[in-house]
Amino acid sequence: MRARHEVASILRQEEDYLNNTRFNGWQLRSLFALRKCRTAALGGHIDTCNSPKCNSLHLSYNSCRNRHCPKCQGHKTQQWIDNRSDELLPVAYYHVVFTLPSALHRLALYAPKIVYNSLFKAAWGTIHGFGKNPNYIGAQPGMISVLHTWGQNLSLHPHLHCIVPSGGVNKQGKWKHSKKREHYLFPVMALSKVFRAKYTALLRKSGIKDQKLFDELYKKQWVVYTKKPFKRNEAVVAYLGGYTHKIAIDNHRIKGITKQQVVFSAKKYRNGGKKELLVLHPHEFIRRFSLHILPKGFVRMRHYGFLSSTCKRKYLKDLQAELQIVIGLKREITPHRICPKCKIGILKTIVTFDSRGPPKNWQTNLKNNLPKKTNA
């Protein structure tokens, strides 16, 4: 169902604020893209249903395709899930979350690439080190990781969601199972200490020389959170798929918008995950939302070890054969462009137009919902 309120509505309402506030160029470009998403400003297209019983016309405005846009991510998530389903192995998978302490939030505002790249490298370095240790696996592990930078209240909260299989690939390209652990793959306290050491070393290597910051980082207890392995392998991809194209806030969480406030729902984890309503001034809402616009070209989902693209091409089919994986029949995928009227036919684009709008002759056809027989 379409959300009643949208981030784009807030951005359009606060155009003066956007024009007179010191966002960086990439943030402004992204915010203006979200504001124009699926409006006449981006042009559009006219589609017709291919079902003979329907044959209706539909006008659609183009999407911005920005990865921070709440309206442009839904079908991308499903595509990712479909593409990853055939890559599963019949082994346990663990969910591991690496979280940065609040002392690094200020640095993340001014040097996001250093902070977030170091997070990826330190997380993989930690998993790789434990995986190669013969006490745990003694082979090359794998990892899929997705960066999130937000908390439910839109504050800065950088953390990395990772999926780690319970085993690895040895030098001969054969699968090696990990030592069986019911609740976690590696000891959590040891993971936290190694992660902190690797991360601070990467910061120093990148040129950060703030000794007070490092002193504060070593005083704090770093958090690495792990869950029990997934009960069903099919749930692994579906679970991580919910994180791959997730953004800071979904439009459905926004409950009300006025000139003075934005009301949205948020889970309060300290209260058992119960939902509550939060109220922010529109300017504060936009400021917090902009904190989570990643630098241009930054890759927020990465694959490591035997799950990297190169290793998958080299080992995946042999591993699946070795582990005698049974690949089920692919489910039928619901087309993204299904007709909203008959729910059966597929939409086919017959006319495209720019910001000036559709040609007048097609405006008449749309009004009467009559398909034109001749080419436009």
pLDDT tens profile 244-265:
788 899 999 999 999 999 999 9
pLDDT for residue 335:
54
What pTM was estimated for this model as a whole? 0.88
SS (H, E, C) the chain: CCCCCCHHHHHHHCHHHHHCCCCCHHHHHHHHHHHHCCCHHHCEEEEEECCCCCCCEEEEECCCCCCCCCCCCHHHHHHHHHHHHHHCCCCCEEEEEEECCHHHHHHHHHCHHHHHHHHHHHHHHHHHHHHHCCCCCCCECEEEEEEEEECCCCCEEEEEEEEEECEEECCCCCEEECCCCCCCCCCHHHHHHHHHHHHHHHHHHCCCCCHHHHHHHHHCCCEEEECCCCCCCHHHHHHHHHHHCCCCCCHHHEEEECCCCEEEEEEEHHHCCEEEEEEECHHHHHHHHHCCCCCCCCCCEEEEECCCHHHHHHHHHHHHHHCCCCCCCCCCCCCCCECCCCCCCEEEEEEEECCCCCCHHHHHHHHHCCCCCCCC
| 75-119 pLDDT per residue, tens | 677 777 777 777 888 888 888 999 999 999 999 999 999 999 999
Q: What is the pLDDT of residue 371?
A: 59
pLDDT computed for residue 336 by the predictor: 64
User: Which positions of the chain have pLDDT values less than 50?
Assistant: 329, 333, 373-376
